[in-house]
């Protein structure tokens, strides 16, 4: 789910040339308050624009149509948001929100597929939203909301489940891996069916593109297959005969694959992805880690005994990972990093990397603390984001009910 500039250059040609979009976003006053109070980057000027209500000329609803292509993405609120989440997803969102009509949400429904602390879920969801904003996600450009606050996610998941062959779900690699580790008696049905919820998350908003990492490509393929299956089973003339508009019920989304180099690996194993679920906190740099903890983690991280520092040597995965982190955190090119660091020893480089991490993360942490201290403001952002998302989602799910033959409510 490389640097921000690379993402923009990779995918700019996919976006519409129009600069306006469906965006009943945060009010002008609230948006101005956000940027003045929390020292976020300057944004486009506030304008007043009305969005037409969905067409009701027939029972079919027309979701608000953006003039930009639409992108949706989300991060689970379980565990701590770390550098891998930041560079693999959130930092890229800051660039994408300037190009696309964007919806970024906290996927709390996915967080319960494995054992979790119920008392911590609400707090973690709010904290994750605050990190989104502190990192530069702008609620005047993107809808930011909590997944469970839009009930259509679960409704559509159930409808899609009826059209999902069980064989498709049994092929999911992540289910096989996690169920093998936990054992059948400890694994809930949700772990098997959560790819259907993921499909619901995407199809609900008639998404054009979905930012995905290599480990999520299989789930997006299932989403695409499911969209085409439902369109075939219930769309077209069949839907029209039931009073609908006909045609495709769902848009079939395309992947946005981050450029090479965006994947951050573990500090204790350069061949494993940095992960929330890794048992050792030493394996990751969390976005909210204090300075002393960052310094300690870098000091103790795994290295090797080879002389000098270099990228792309398969015998030196930890070296490649640490140099990649420095490249991303400093904003320098690969060539600049090689020139600067190739003759350094590990002690000198670790000091350089530690300072760069602290310099980059400290302003984000300051903004996070200010946002979390104003609970009413954060609640307002999430509520308005959910309202914006629900306008699109409700139209979609109502069309699915109609196309599948349900009795409409009057």
Q: Which of 222, 208, 215, 203 is nearest to 255 (CA)?
A: 208
Could you tell me if 185 and 375 are in contact, meaning their C-beta atoms sit under 8 angstroms apart? Answer: no
Strands 101-106 and 209-211: unpaired
For residues 60 and 249, give the distance between their C-alpha atoms in angstroms, rounded to a whole number: 11
Of the candidates 273, 291, 332, 370, the residue annotated as catalytic is 273
For residues 293 and 296, give the distance between their C-alpha atoms in angstroms, rounded to a whole number: 5
Q: State the distance between the two ends of the chain, measured CA to CA, in whole angstroms.
A: 41
Does 178 participate in catalysis according to the annotation?
Answer: yes
User: Looking at the DSSP assignment, which residues form a beta bridge with residue 73?
Assistant: 104
Of the candidates 69, 91, 141, 276, the residue annotated as catalytic is 276
CA atoms within 13 A on the CB side of 394: 12
For residues 330 and 345, give the distance between their C-alpha atoms in angstroms, rounded to a whole number: 19
Displacement of CA 356 from its chain's centroid (Å): 25
Cβ-based burial of 115 (10 A; exposed 0-12, middle 13-18, buried ≥19): exposed
Q: Which residues contact residue 127 at a Cβ distance below 8 angstroms, ignoring those fewer than 6 apart?
A: 77, 372
- Give the Cβ contact number of residue 150 at 10 Å: 28
Does 276 participate in catalysis according to the annotation?
Answer: yes
The residues carrying an active-site annotation are: 178, 273, 276
């Amino acid at each position: 789910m490389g640097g921000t500039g690379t993402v923009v250059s990779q995918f700019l040609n996919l976006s519409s040339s129009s600069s306006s979009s469906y965006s009943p976003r945060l009010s002008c006053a609230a948006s101005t308050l956000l940027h003045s109070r929390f020292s976020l980057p300057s944004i486009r000027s506030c304008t007043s624009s009305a969005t037409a209500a969905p067409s009701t000329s027939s029972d079919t609803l027309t979701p608000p149509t953006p003039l930009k292509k639409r992108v949706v993405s989300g991060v689970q609120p379980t565990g701590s948001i770390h550098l891998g989440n930041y560079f693999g997803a959130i930092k890229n969102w800051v660039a994408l929100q300037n190009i696309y009509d964007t919806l970024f949400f906290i996927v709390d429904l996915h967080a319960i597929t494995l054992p979790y602390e119920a008392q911590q879920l609400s707090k973690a969801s709010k904290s994750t939203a605050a990190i989104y904003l502190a990192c530069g996600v702008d609620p005047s450009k993107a809808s930011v909301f909590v997944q469970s606050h839009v009930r259509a996610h679960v409704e559509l998941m159930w409808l899609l489940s009826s059209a999902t062959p069980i064989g498709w779900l049994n092929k999911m690699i992540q289910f096989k891996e996690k169920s093998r580790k936990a054992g059948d008696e400890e694994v809930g049905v949700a772990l098997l069916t959560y790819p259907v919820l993921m499909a619901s998350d995407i199809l609900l908003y008639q998404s054009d593109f979905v930012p995905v990492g290599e480990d999520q490509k299989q789930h997006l393929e299932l989403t695409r297959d499911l969209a085409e299956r439902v369109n075939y089973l219930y769309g077209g003339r069949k839907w029209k005969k039931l009073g609908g508009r006909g045609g495709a019920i769902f848009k079939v989304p395309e992947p946005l694959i981050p450029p090479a180099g965006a994947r951050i690996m573990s500090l204790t194993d350069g061949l494993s992805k940095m992960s929330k679920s890794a048992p050792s906190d030493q394996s990751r740099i969390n976005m909210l880690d204090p300075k002393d903890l960052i310094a300690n983690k870098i000091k103790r991280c795994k290295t090797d005994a080879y002389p000098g520092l270099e990228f792309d040597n398969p015998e030196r995965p930890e070296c490649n990972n640490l140099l990649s982190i420095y490249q991303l955190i400093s904003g320098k090119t690969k060539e600049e990093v090689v020139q600067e660091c190739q003759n350094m020893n590990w002690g000198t480089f670790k000091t350089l990397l530690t300072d760069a991490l602290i310099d980059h993360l400290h302003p984000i942490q300051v903004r996070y603390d200010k946002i979390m201290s104003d609970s009413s403001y954060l609640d307002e952002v999430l509520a308005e984001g959910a309202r914006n998302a629900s306008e699109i989602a409700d139209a979609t799910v109502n069309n699915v009910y109609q196309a599948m033959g349900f009795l409409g409510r009057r």
